[in-house]
Amino acid sequence: MHPHKFTLWVAMGSLIMMFAGLTSAFIVKSNQVGWKSVTLPSVFWLSTVAIVLSSGTVYLALRSFREREMARYRLWMGVTLVLGILFVAFQWNGFMALWAQQITFRGSGAGQFLYVIFGLHALHVIGGVVVLSVLLAKAFFGRIKIYSSIPVEIAATYWHFVDLLWIYLLLFFLLIGGN
């Protein structure tokens, strides 16, 4: 296994542990007196559509890179980048909808956890957006001397990971964190 891939898998394992700890803390705290549940704004479903679609487009980008179809690679990587940015924008709108409902970080209950957990996930997606931006810039402006797909594979693996992590978090809040 390539050392960068191994490092990514270790990092993803750490992230899994962090989010497992946060969701476990949510379960423990939700049994306390004064706990307030939160209904998720529907805009979070739009962000789900964006990130699930982006998982498909990053797959197509990787496949295009491996086939040395650089025009298709640039297209699919660009679409993935746009969908990633849309995901973050929809998340922001979701946070604004929560804020408009008077669900703030200072409140008691699910709102606090939702801000922290969804916010941390959004930060990791933003990190992925930065990586996608760099890969896309290299595809347009860089010279590819060696067609090593390792950087694209690592980015795609990470992107699939944040996609699956989002699905887990959304389902967690819908099934366990709901009213």
Each residue's pLDDT tens digit, 168-179: 999 998 888 764
Does 145 score more than 70 pLDDT?
no
152-173: buried (b, 16+ CB within 10 Å) or exposed (e) per residue?
Answer: bbbbbebbbbbbebbeebbebb
Range of the domain at 133: 42-175
Total domains present in the chain = 1
In a domain, 19, yes or no: no
Q: Read off the CATH number of the domain in which 129 is found.
A: 1.20.120.80
pLDDT, tens only, 115-140: 899 999 999 999 999 999 999 999 88
Flag whether 146 is in a domain.
yes
Yes or no: say if 83 and 54 are a contact pair by the CB < 8 Å rule.
yes
Asked whether residue 140 is domain-assigned, the answer is yes
Read off the pTM. 0.91
Is residue 24 domain-resident? no
CA angle 55, 41, 177 (to 5 degrees): 85
